[in-house]
Amino acid sequence: MEISVDRANEVLIAKVEGRIDGANAREFEDALNGAIGEDDSKVLLDFSTLSYISSAGLRVILLIARLLQKRNAAFALCSLSDPIREVFEISGFDKIISIHDSQAEAVDKIGR
Amino acid sequence: MSRRLSLSLPTKLDQLERIYEAVDELGESEEWPPGMVYQVKLVLEELGVNIVTHGHGGEPDHEFEIVMDTDADALTIELRDEGRAFNPLTDSPEPDVDSGLDDRPVGGLGIYLVRTMMDELSYRREDNTNILTIVKRKENG
């Protein structure tokens, strides 16, 4: 699992590559917390190169979403593969976190 | 065509890699749809993590077994471990998948994903062993 960070229209874009599972979810949590600065008010996770996520990763997403909501920061996900989207839908996470088809669409929605 | 693939794994999280490799290999040789490969990996990971962290409380010197049998219609998985008794059909609460962000409990989703993605689950406890049998029919890939 690797995270690379970019910024566009005041949106912090964290692109996650590889796999998030029970063995590395803690590492994912630490990496995200490290990537999101205190001044970031708009955060987007780009999952276009994420190959796998399970409940251990969902737990981290939920914690980050809550943290950002407390700060009144915007939070969204984009570019989920079909199996990953299914995991979010079964878990009901698509009802509490905004999910976009592409990075451009997401930045347009939550960006400045 | 039918195939059997057996794994015997130490109760350590770094063994998950071997599960993914086995599922990839079986899925590739049988041309499962990508969605089915993903679901089978997820189900075995969720249950494997449960066995390692809860069933054996993180003790690394135990073993658990996975046997995957396939035929034309279905994949049947048998999972055996000697950890604490755990019946995923009754011992895991239904998670709350409807409440808002603030009220959402953090756990319980793993077993729910397992129950939702697979077609049949049956559990028995025999001689200090948890035996979970899972069926995934191929047309639902």
> Could you tell me the residue ranges of all domains in chain B?
3-140
Query: What average pLDDT does the segment A64-74 reach?
Result: 95
Look up the domain containing A15 and give its range: 2-104
Q: Would A110 be classed as within a structural domain?
A: no
**B interface test, pick of A91, A93, A97, A99 with most B CB neighbours within 10 Å:** A91
- Predicted confidence (pLDDT) per residue in A12-58, tens digit: 999 999 999 999 999 999 999 999 999 999 999 999 999 999 999 99
Q: Does the distance separating the beta carbons of A58 and B109 come in below 8 Å? A: yes
Q: Would A16 be classed as within a structural domain?
A: yes
Q: What is the CATH number of the domain that holds A82?
A: 3.30.750.24
- In this complex, the residue of B13, B46, B48 whose CB is nearest that of residue A55 is B46
- Predicted confidence (pLDDT) per residue in B59-114, tens digit: 999 999 999 999 999 999 999 999 999 999 999 988 889 999 988 887 789 999 99
Domain count, chain A: 1
Q: What percent of chain A is predicted at pLDDT more than 90?
A: 98
Q: For residue B94, what pLDDT is reported?
A: 86
Q: State how far residue B132 is from chain A, nearest Cα, in angstroms.
A: 20
Q: Would A73 be classed as within a structural domain?
A: yes
Q: Would A8 be classed as within a structural domain?
A: yes
Q: Which CATH number is associated with domain B3-140?
A: 3.30.565.10
Q: Would A93 be classed as within a structural domain?
A: yes
Q: Does the distance separating the beta carbons of B16 and A62 come in below 8 Å? A: no
CB atoms within 10 A of CB B29: 12
Q: Which residue of B has its CA nearest to A90?
A: B113
Q: Does residue B6 belong to the interface with chain A, where contact is any CB pair within 8 Å? A: no
- Predicted confidence (pLDDT) per residue in B107-123, tens digit: 789 999 999 999 999 99
- Pairing outcome for strands A98-100 and A74-78: parallel
Q: For residue B141, what pLDDT is reported?
A: 45
In this model, does residue B7 exceed pLDDT 80? Answer: yes
Token pair for B21: 């490799």
